[in-house]
Amino acid sequence: MAEFIVMPKMGLTMTEGTISNWRKQEGDTIKKGEIIFDVETDKLTNEFDSKADGVLRKILVKSGTVPVLAPVAIVGDKDEDISTLLNQAAASTEAENASEKQIQEAQIGQLKTPIAEKGGRVKVTPRAKKVAKELGVDISSVPGTGSEGSVTEQDVRNYAKKNESEKKKTSPVASITAERLGVDINKIEKSSRIMKKDVVKYKLSEELEKYANPQEFRKPMSTMRKVISQRMLESKRVSPTVTYNIKVDTSAVKQIREDIKEETKVSYNDILIKIVSEVLLEYPLLNSSVDDNEIIIRNYVNMGFAVALNEGLIVPVVKYANVKGLNEISAKAKELAEKARSNGLTPDDLNGGTFTISNVGMYGVESFTPIINQPQVAILGVNAINEEAVVVNGEIKIKPMMGLSLTADHRVIDGAVAAEFLSKLKKYIEKPGLLLL
Amino acid sequence: MKIAIVGGGPGGYVAAIRAAQLGAEVTLIEKENLGGTCLNKGCIPTKVLLHTSERIEEIKNDYDKIGIEVCEAKLDWAKLQERKEKIVKNLTGGVGSLLRKNKVTRITGEGEFKNKNQLRVKTEHGTSVTVDFDYAVIASGSRPVVPPLPGTDLPGVITSDEALCLGEVPRSMVIIGGGVIGAEFAAAYSALGCRITIVEMLPKIVANMDQDIVKSLKEKFIKKGIEIHTSTKVESISRTSAGLLINTSSVEGKRFFEAEKVLLSIGRRPATDGLGLENTGVKTERGSIAVERNMRTNVSNIYAIGDCIGGIMLAHVASAEGIAAVESIMGKKTAIDFKTVPYCVYTKPELAGVGLTEEQAKSEGYDVKIGVFPMYGNGKAVIECETEGLVKYIADNDTGEILGMHMAGPRATDLIVEGALAIRLEATIDEIISTIHAHPTISEALQEAARAVHDNPIHI
């Protein structure tokens, strides 16, 4: 006995669901418990398994959102007459679409969308069916204007006439050339007469496409990618940002690395974590978070630093960097980076960051606009160090200059504060001895 | 939008009218009469001469055949000249009223560019007027080329300009250059009783046209007693008691000709001097103004059209270019389809061609299929005693695309439009065949030539 498959109600609050993918096609045999389509709600994606055995006779909703308990398909025996169910479904989708359709009609000014596409079925008068056959018209693409959107004889005639007038004007040589080259002349887009050169041009572009063999693949996002994607989007939505760029002379930092080389090897990044942590204590707004109408100010710095992985990006946190020595910072950063690459980070290694440093200098980038790692309010982008000619006391000197790109959330950090922070940072990087004070 | 047009020939005046139609404020500057070379010294007056010469020939050769006895037919040269002047005046006057009707301002005088937005015009009254413009179209035309030969400055050595208004029909004339202009003057003066010798440096006369149709003309010329010497170079011109002595050389050696007049018709060259182009930065290449496809020069608000850009020096090409230039200025997209330019020679038989010649089509790599139908197979041609000539269709063997049509015979210059239209619309030879051609007409020969492409003409 044929029956409807309806949109399942998968939770108390669920009012509608979206069909994202049919696992079965019309005509497929389905068994009880077999997954036949995927349903998405605003919260999750579920698989729908069949409650009946039979043949999937008709898919009423190929994709899209419908209310719960709305019919989405008909299941029944192979040769069973399902016309009653089809009529019922058409009537219900008709009613469903009525208001929406009116709006659409008003917008487009004419009925353009073929009804078949809407998940219903085409209602056709017998005369219309006969005329369509005579004129060789595909009835499913004829918009209907009769009662309940049914297709009338006149609709078919109008459609055929319109089609005729839109037929391409083509020069005789172009027609023959198209035939010789195996080009479908209807595919050539041109409002005026199609000439031989249009056909040749089209053929060449077809050949090019064949040669290039363009292909697209789809793959599901990894969990990490999904998280990054959502958090980046969220950050863009939440934070009104401004990015500030400054150039810093790294001669002194270079000297420090040189000086302590015998004792310990530290990276530019380690030194930056140390210096930025110090400066952040002087500018606590950059180290803050926003919670509703309150600003959370901290007396400590948990410094996040972005680590690029094959499948994405992760930001481990050096806790209380403001009280750690350079050696300690360096060791911790090394350990965290190692763990990140070997997939060994614990939630504790990732939580609690108050500021982030993102270094893309090794790729030669000179400036960029990093996105804030929420719920933080600022992020420091570190760019490449390049030897540059700099004028010092009226003389040209060559200095290793590094660009810093600070993105700050204007909800809490005004331009002056950000600029002051950057200039202080510059001062400390260029004269690290000040940190000894 | 202010547009200044320099030159009132078939390029300039057509451009002026089209620009005015599109709403521009147009000033046309012409130093002489409107109509340019075409109306004053070219197409029109030569055709007046040719018309009379053809009628005289007909009376002499054909009238007894068709049952008209003529006691005496005599040329009234003075009256012919008068008629020619009258027709020219009539037509140039017509151009003037067309310009007035379209509210084009006309200044008579020589225009010279002061800069990219101003022209200074020295008027006929000796005053000077400055014309400001947003856009200018240069349509300054061309002049006959006088070759660097000893003796070209002798009296009796003339160009087409003078050949149109000789005091009397000369007894003999050597025509240097057997191109279209030379051939037409040969036909005209030969029929009026002048002994003609054509000296051509190239191996063939009317070399730009399909040689199958040129052959019809050549045979007719020889029959009329016109001497043709191809691959022959003129060395010098000097004086003798009888008039002028023309010293030539060829592989066969030196040869001398004597004649009362020598007509220099080796070609025309762009007339671009005195325009003040140097004040605008407009570039020229070997005397021709260089233009892009839409007729724009290297200076963005200055366009050039017609003979002054070199290329195909034909009135109808100049007109098409004039329209394209002003339409481009007025923001329309216009492209000229040069494939459809007809070439016409107003001799008897008339020659006309459009598209590729057989030779050109083959050298472009087409697998060509030719259909030829001789004029003597056409009933109307027989009635009109004009059985010389043929129609030739050239089609692409693969697609049947019409690549060229060439014709020698009665009204060829009018009938060539069938070929031009066919090429423009990319018709195949089968569309010509399936188009019903009226009977009895010369045009039937066109349909038969098309059938001949498939080797199945009906009437031969």
Predicted confidence (pLDDT) per residue in B138-152, tens digit: 999 999 999 999 999
The CATH class that applies to domain B2-144+269-336 reads alpha beta
Element (H, E) at A306: none
pLDDT at position A93 is 61
pLDDT at position A263 is 86
Domains and CATH numbers, chain A: 3-80 (2.40.50.100), 121-212 (4.10.320.10), 224-436 (3.30.559.10)
pLDDT at position B211 is 96
- Give the separation between CA B453 and CA B448, rounded to whole angstroms: 9
Q: Per CATH, is B340-453 categorized as 3.30.390.30?
A: yes
- Give the separation between CA A43 and CA A37, rounded to whole angstroms: 17
Among A105-114, B158-167, B435-444, the minimum mean pLDDT is found in A105-114
CB B210 within 8 A of CB B404: yes
Mind giving me the DSSP string for A369-385? -PPP-TTBSEEEEEEEE
Among A119-133, A407-421, B31-45, the minimum mean pLDDT is found in A119-133
Chain A residues inside the 8 Å CB shell of B431 = 172
SS3 at position A431: coil
Chain A residues inside the 8 Å CB shell of B428 = 172-173, 176
* ω into A432 cis (within 30 of 0): no
CATH homologous superfamily for B157-266?
Answer: FAD/NAD(P)-binding domain (3.50.50.60)
How confident is the model over B154-166, as a mean pLDDT? 94
Chain B residues inside the 8 Å CB shell of A171 = 425-427
Element (H, E) at A216: none
SS (H, E, C) chain B: CEEEEECCCCCHHHHHHHHHHCCCEEEEEECCCCCHHHHHHCHHHHHHHHHHHHHHHHHHHCCCCCCCCCCCCCCCHHHHHHHHHHHHHHHHHHHHHHHHHCCCEEEEEEEEEEECCEEEEEECCCCEEEEECCEEEECCCEEECCCCCCCCCCCCEEEHHHHCCCCCCCCEEEEECCCHHHHHHHHHHHHCCCEEEEECCCCCCCCCCCHHHHHHHHHHHHHCCCEEECCCEEEEEEEECCEEEEEEEECCEEEEEEECEEEECCCEEECCCCCCHHHCCCCEECCEECCCCCCECCCCCEEECHHHHCCCCCHHHHHHHHHHHHHHHCCCCCCCCHHHCCEEECCCCEEEEEECCHHHHHHCCCCEEEEEEEHHHCHHHHHCCCCCCEEEEEEECCCCEEEEEEEEECCHHHHHHHHHHHHHCCCEHHHHHHCCCCCCCCCHHHHHHHHHHCCCCCCC
- Model confidence at A312, pLDDT cuts 50, 70, 90, reads confident
Say if the Cβ atoms of A173 and B400 lie within 8 Å.
yes
Tokens coding B257 = 């000709």
pLDDT at position A115 is 42
pLDDT tens digits, residue range A341-391? 888 888 889 889 999 999 999 999 999 999 999 999 999 999 999 999 999
Tokens coding B65 = 């055949």
Nearest to B190 by CA among B153, B217, B158, B155: B217
pLDDT tens digits, residue range A278-304? 999 999 999 999 998 999 999 999 999
- Give the separation between CA B361 and CA A220, rounded to whole angstroms: 58
Tokens coding B116 = 């990219």
CA distances from residue A242 to A279, A379, A414 in whole angstroms, order as listed:
19, 11, 9
Going by C-beta distance under 8 Å and a sequence separation of 6 or more, which residues neighbour residue A171? A193, A194, A195, A196, B425, B426, B427
Tokens coding B237 = 């011109």
Would you say residue B62 has pLDDT above 60?
A: yes
Say if the Cβ atoms of B427 and A174 lie within 8 Å.
no
pLDDT at position B334 is 82
Tokens coding B281 = 């930065």
pLDDT at position B227 is 96
Which of B399, B425, B427 is the closest to A177 by Cβ? B399
pLDDT at position A44 is 65
CA atoms within 13 A on the CB side of B124: 8
Nearest to B12 by CA among B138, B193, B97: B138
pLDDT tens digits, residue range A386-428? 999 999 999 999 999 999 999 999 999 999 999 999 999 999 9
* ω into A375 cis (within 30 of 0): yes
If you average pLDDT over every residue of chain B, what do you get? 95
Tokens coding A163 = 């089609």
pLDDT tens digits, residue range B345-388? 999 999 999 999 999 999 999 999 999 999 999 999 999 999 99
Residue type at position A125: T
Tokens coding B119 = 């022209």
- Give the separation between CA B49 and CA B47, rounded to whole angstroms: 5
- Give the separation between CA A28 and CA A163, rounded to whole angstroms: 35
Chain B residues inside the 8 Å CB shell of A177 = 399, 401
- From the CA of A195, how many Å to the nearest CA of chain B? 7
Say if the Cβ atoms of A171 and B427 lie within 8 Å.
yes
Among A127-141, B291-305, B391-405, the minimum mean pLDDT is found in A127-141
pLDDT at position A111 is 42
pLDDT at position B223 is 95
pLDDT at position B106 is 95
- Give the separation between CA A19 and CA A73, rounded to whole angstroms: 11
- From the CA of B294, how many Å to the nearest CA of chain A? 19
Distance between first and last Cα of chain B: 60
Mutate to test the interface with B, among A173, A179, A190, A198 (most CBs of B within 10 A): A173
> For the purposes of burial, counting CB atoms within 10 Å of the CB of B77, is it exposed (0-12), middle (13-18) or buried (19 or more)?
middle
Residue type at position A227: V
Question: What are the residue ranges of CATH 3.50.50.60 in chain B?
Answer: 2-144+269-336, 157-266
- Model confidence at A43, pLDDT cuts 50, 70, 90, reads low
> For the purposes of burial, counting CB atoms within 10 Å of the CB of B104, is it exposed (0-12), middle (13-18) or buried (19 or more)?
buried
Chain B residues inside the 8 Å CB shell of A176 = 399-401, 428
Chain A residues inside the 8 Å CB shell of B398 = 180
Tokens coding B393 = 């269709």
- Model confidence at A34, pLDDT cuts 50, 70, 90, reads confident
Active-site residue list of A: 410
CB A196 within 8 A of CB B401: yes
- Give the separation between CA A415 and CA B392, rounded to whole angstroms: 82
- Give the separation between CA A418 and CA A87, rounded to whole angstroms: 66
Rg (CA), chain B: 23
* B414 part of contact set with chain A, CB < 8 Å: no
* B428 part of contact set with chain A, CB < 8 Å: yes
pLDDT at position B271 is 95
Phi and psi of A365, rounded to 5°? -65, 140
Say if the Cβ atoms of B398 and A180 lie within 8 Å.
yes
Say which residue, A106 or B435, is predicted with more confidence.
Answer: B435
Tokens coding A136 = 């060789």
Say if the Cβ atoms of A176 and B400 lie within 8 Å.
yes
Would you say residue B117 has pLDDT above 50?
A: yes
Question: b/e map of B345-360 (b: 16 or more CB within 10 Å)?
Answer: bbbbbbbbbbbbbbeb
Would you say residue A139 has pLDDT above 60?
A: yes
Phi and psi of A223, rounded to 5°? -60, -45
- Model confidence at B206, pLDDT cuts 50, 70, 90, reads very high
- From the CA of A174, how many Å to the nearest CA of chain B? 7
What percentage of chain B has pLDDT greater than the value 90?
95
- Give the separation between CA A163 and CA A142, rounded to whole angstroms: 11
- From the CA of A134, how many Å to the nearest CA of chain B? 29
Would you say residue B389 has pLDDT above 80?
A: yes
ipTM of the modeled complex:
0.75
Does the pTM surpass 0.90? The reply is no
**Sign for the pseudo-dihedral over CA of B341, B344, B350, B355:** negative
- Give the separation between CA A6 and CA A116, rounded to whole angstroms: 19
CA distances from residue B257 to A112, B176, B232, B283 in whole angstroms, order as listed:
82, 11, 12, 42
pLDDT at position A109 is 45
Element (H, E) at A226: helix A223-238
Active-site residue list of B: 439
How confident is the model over B99-118, as a mean pLDDT? 96
Mutate to test the interface with A, among B396, B399, B430 (most CBs of A within 10 A): B399
What percentage of chain B has pLDDT greater than the value 70?
100
- Give the separation between CA A162 and CA A142, rounded to whole angstroms: 11
Tokens coding B349 = 């038989």
pLDDT at position A303 is 95
pLDDT at position A8 is 85
Interface residues on A facing B, Cβ-Cβ cutoff 8 A: 171-174, 176-177, 180, 193, 195-196
Mutate to test the interface with B, among A168, A175, A176 (most CBs of B within 10 A): A176
> For the purposes of burial, counting CB atoms within 10 Å of the CB of B337, is it exposed (0-12), middle (13-18) or buried (19 or more)?
exposed
Say if the Cβ atoms of B399 and A180 lie within 8 Å.
yes
> For the purposes of burial, counting CB atoms within 10 Å of the CB of A49, is it exposed (0-12), middle (13-18) or buried (19 or more)?
middle
pLDDT at position A87 is 83
SS3 at position A234: helix
Among A1-5, A99-103, A186-190, A268-272, the minimum mean pLDDT is found in A99-103
* ω into A67 cis (within 30 of 0): no
Going by C-beta distance under 8 Å and a sequence separation of 6 or more, which residues neighbour residue A393? none
Instruction: Quickly count: other Cβ atoms within 10 Å of residue A390's Cβ.
Output: 14
Would you say residue A66 has pLDDT above 90?
A: no
The DSSP 8-state label assigned to residue A283 in this structure reads: S
* A172 to chain B: closest CA residue: B427
CB B373 within 8 A of CB B382: no
pLDDT tens digits, residue range A153-166? 888 888 877 766 55
Tokens coding B124 = 């006929």
pLDDT tens digits, residue range B66-75? 999 998 889 9
Chain B residues inside the 8 Å CB shell of A195 = 426
- Model confidence at A97, pLDDT cuts 50, 70, 90, reads low
- From the CA of B395, how many Å to the nearest CA of chain A? 11
List, edge to edge, every strand of the sheet that includes B368-374: B343-345, B350-355, B402-409, B390-396, B368-374
Would you say residue B9 has pLDDT above 90?
A: yes
Angle at A77 between CA A74 and CA A83, to 5 degrees: 50
Which of A173, A180, A195 is the closest to B428 by Cβ? A173
The conformational region for residue B118 under phi > 0 = left, psi -120 to 50 = alpha, else beta, is: beta
- From the CA of B317, how many Å to the nearest CA of chain A? 22
- Model confidence at A112, pLDDT cuts 50, 70, 90, reads very low
Question: What are the residue ranges of CATH 3.30.390.30 in chain B?
Answer: 340-453
CB A118 within 8 A of CB A89: no
